[in-house]
Amino acid sequence: DAKTTQPNSMESNEEEPVHLPCNHSTISGTDYIHWYRQLPSQGPEYVIHGLTSNVNNRMASLAIAEDRKSSTLILHRATLRDAAVYYCIALRNQGGKLIFGQGTELSVKP
């Protein structure tokens, strides 16, 4: 499974969009990109995942670069409840174990 690199921390203002970057330059053609987030004192929760095409769900959007070496998680309007550590994980769809890196700690200012 490919290694991912994320900034340690980011800041955002409430009700503004947030773009959380992730680099995965060694990703293989069969690796999916998964995003999880962990709110304070809670277990991680699934946010979104994708392979090649951009993906949207009720929580966020995932923009994947054409060469798949990077991706961006987009929160369209940050709320205070979005303050969390966001993890980007690249792994094979079959036979992969979810291995977490350090993630990006997002703080949201009112």
Q: Applying CB under 8 A, which residues contact other proteins?
A: 32, 34, 36, 38, 41-46, 48-49, 85, 87, 89, 91, 93-100, 102-103, 105
Length of the chain: 110
Closer of 3 and 100 to other proteins (Cβ): 100
Question: Which residues 6+ apart lie within 8 Å of 38 measured at CB?
Answer: 44, 45, 84, 85, 87, 103
Closer of 13 and 93 to other proteins (Cβ): 93
Closest alpha carbon to 89 in 78, 107, 102: 102
Closer of 3 and 77 to other proteins (Cβ): 3
